[in-house]
A and B are shown apart, each in its own frame.
Chain A
Amino acid sequence: MINHIDLSTVLRRTVCDLYSDLVTRPTGAAVRDGIEKQLSELGDRSLTVIDFSHVGLLDYSCADEIVAKLLMRYAEASAPRDAYFLFRGVSDSHLDAIETVLERHGLAIVAQAEDGTVVLVGTVDDPERRAWEAMLRMGRAMADDLAREAEIAPEQMERVIGALCRRRLAMELDGGYVVVGAVT
């Protein structure tokens, strides 16, 4: 099931109905709580579009509270559910803050551009990027096919796919693997 969360709506509902900027840590923490409440109403497995389209300013502190902490929580083995995220409506100024916090924590996200194409943002190593791009080209694919496409040894590909799924950048679907955002 694909869920959609408009961050400006969450901001107005959880913090103040006059705000359009995502600034300060307390604001970020309140918005993240709002997101998690919505996630808790979904099933055990979900894909959620986090939409920045109507957000004015995003500062580093808020990006850290919302994007980085959300990802870290759901990338842990103890995550409350199997949740994946696609980030949409990210402007250049949002990206500045988001990239900074992702690099700080060694994280990455999948962002969707206006034309629907998806890109990786943040910290990914070369095999992860090659595998992810191969997955994007192929659509749903099996590990062996991905290994051939990305020119990565099959035994290494298992590990790389595991990392991509754990990092919420790809997901298992019907026995194969797809990049997050390929199935919206």
Chain B
Amino acid sequence: MTSVINLPPSLDERTFETVLEHLAPIPIDEKVILDGRHTRWASPYGLTALLTVAQTRAEKPTLVSPESEETGSYWARTGFFKHAEELFEMHGSTHRARASGESDVLLEITPVGKSEDVHEVVSRIQQKSASILVKELNIDAKATMGFAMTLSEACQNIVEHAGRGGWVAVQTYRWQKRLGRRVVVIAVCDAGVGFRQSLESAQGRRMSDRWDDGMALEEAVIRGVSRFRDPGRGQGLAGVRRYIGRWDGKLSVRSGTARIAIVPSWDEDVPLEEKLPPFPGAQMQITIPERITDR
């Protein structure tokens, strides 16, 4: 049996939940067609999460690419098709990258599975991001190093805990409807073991009666708990939290059936969502908005 899931017109962190709702009841060895013909826009989270979906399926899924040339061109510029061709059976138009002034891909979708990949990501982002962060987002030049540190720690979460490779992408764009400002967005998605299972693997760890994905996220993201007994562990996500706090950013992490968010004043997200459709691994999004300066 084959199931068809229509991708939403705008594919981002929120709307991706509809994809997962449709996907959840379908056995992993059953064929799935993800129909993206009418998708007009996708965030880095949407694209990296799509690749992650393919990693979770035993039967290679089919992806129908967007009909819109502009959308397809953007997906091509993010490097999406290069990876999708290995994970999906591709149908529909073949798109090529064209230059565009409206969105800037700071880091193409990049696979992350080992320490060397993090070095590569950090090196590439530093070359490309410094001037954009300073000129377009009014972020202090000194903070660009913090941005690269944040990206490094977010990627290391995959290397250290996921147990399998994942994906990272960084992009800036104008978030007109919600914020009226430019933002830089980091998406890091994997289909690994997820936070709950990672923490459960800690030796001698006692689980409370309420132990679930939501609690595992609270432990790891808010309290800096790690599966390693080494007291130096857990500083990476704490560092990410500090950075987003300093720059009025937002952090959200989804794992299993829960999603936790550090919500800034400009956003109306909820701090913790539970009972979401189950999905393996961890999916993280970091959003740093343009800084409003007195002129």
Name A's B-contacting residues (CB within 8 A): 16, 19-21, 23-27, 56-61, 64-65, 68-69, 92-93, 96-97, 100-101, 104-105
Contact = CB atoms under 8 A, between A and B. Distances in A.
Contact of B146 (A19, A61, A64, A93): A93
29 contacts: A16-B116, A19-B123, A21-B119, A21-B122, A21-B148, A23-B118, A24-B115, A25-B115, A25-B156, A26-B115, A56-B126, A57-B122, A57-B148, A59-B149, A59-B152, A59-B156, A60-B235, A60-B238, A61-B153, A61-B156, A61-B235, A68-B232, A69-B232, A93-B142, A93-B146, A93-B149, A97-B239, A100-B242, A104-B235
B149 A97 contact: yes
A140 B292 CA distance: 52
Contacts of A57: 122, 126, 145, 148-149, 152
Contacts of B236: 59-61
A15 to B, nearest CB: 8
Interface string B129-157: 00000000000001001101100110010
B146 A24 contact: no
A24 B232 contact: no
Given A24-B156, A57-B149, A93-B149, A64 B115 contact: no
Interface of B: 115-116, 118-119, 122-123, 126, 142, 145-146, 148-149, 152-153, 156, 159-160, 231-232, 235-236, 238-239, 242
A21 B123 contact: yes
A21 B124 CA distance: 11
Contacts, number: 80
Question: In the complex, which of the residues B146, B149, B238, B242 has the most CB atoms of chain A within 10 Å of its own CB atom?
Answer: B149
A23 B159 CA distance: 12
Contacts of B118: 23-24
B2 to A, nearest CB: 41
Contacts of B159: 24
A64 B122 contact: no
A26 B119 CA distance: 11
Contacts of B232: 64-65, 68-69, 101, 104-105
Question: Shortest 9 CB-CB distances between A and B: which pairs?
Answer: A93-B145, A64-B232, A24-B115, A26-B115, A59-B152, A60-B235, A60-B239, A23-B152, A59-B149
Nearest to B114: A26
Contacts of B235: 60-61, 64, 100-101, 104
A133 B160 CA distance: 41
Contacts of A24: 115, 118-119, 152, 156, 159
Contacts of A20: 123
Contacts of A16: 116, 119
Given A57-B122, A93-B142, 5 more contacts: A19-B123, A24-B119, A57-B149, A59-B149, A93-B145
Contacts of A69: 232
A59 B119 contact: no
Contacts of B231: 104-105
Contacts of A64: 232, 235
Contacts of A105: 231-232
Question: In the complex, which of the residues B115, B126, B142 has the most CB atoms of chain A within 10 Å of its own CB atom?
Answer: B115
A94 to B, nearest CB: 9
A95 to B, nearest CB: 11
A91 B36 CA distance: 47
Given A92-B142, A93-B145, A27 B119 contact: yes
Nearest to A24: B115
Contacts of A68: 232
Contacts of B149: 23, 57-60, 93, 96-97
